[in-house]
């Protein structure tokens, strides 16, 4: 018999959202600060991802 240990999944998108809310900024403002390759829609997609 082998004991199977599973790592709990970390919802990194939720962590991004919490950090953004702690700073008190909107998704579009975060995208602007990250550079021209980023936009509000991309931030939203990242916040929905579970890695």
Q: What pLDDT score was predicted for residue 3?
A: 67
**What distance in Å separates the CA atoms of residue 1 and residue 3, rounded to the nearest whole number?**
7
Task: Give domain status of residue 23, yes or no.
Answer: yes
Q: What pLDDT score was predicted for residue 2?
A: 65
Over the Cα atoms of the chain, what is R_g? Answer: 15
How many domains are contained in the chain? Answer: 1
For 20, the token pair is 């953004």
- Which of helix, strand or coil describes residue 26? coil
pTM over 0.85? The answer is no
Range of the domain at 20: 12-48
How many C-beta atoms lie closer than 10 Å to residue 44's C-beta? 14
**One digit per residue, pLDDT tens: the chain, 51 residues?**
566 788 888 899 999 999 999 999 999 999 999 999 999 999 999 999 987
Task: Give domain status of residue 7, yes or no.
Answer: no
Task: Give domain status of residue 29, yes or no.
Answer: yes
Q: What pLDDT score was predicted for residue 18?
A: 97
Task: Give domain status of residue 3, yes or no.
Answer: no
Which phi-psi region, left, alpha or beta, contains residue 19 (left: φ > 0; alpha: ψ -120 to 50)?
alpha
Q: What pLDDT score was predicted for residue 6?
A: 82
């Amino acid at each position: 018999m082998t004991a199977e240990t599973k790592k709990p999944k970390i919802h990194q998108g939720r962590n991004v959202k919490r950090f953004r809310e702690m700073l008190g900024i909107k998704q579009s403002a975060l995208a602007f600060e990250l550079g021209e390759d980023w936009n509000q829609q991309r931030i939203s997609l990242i916040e929905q991802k579970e890695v």
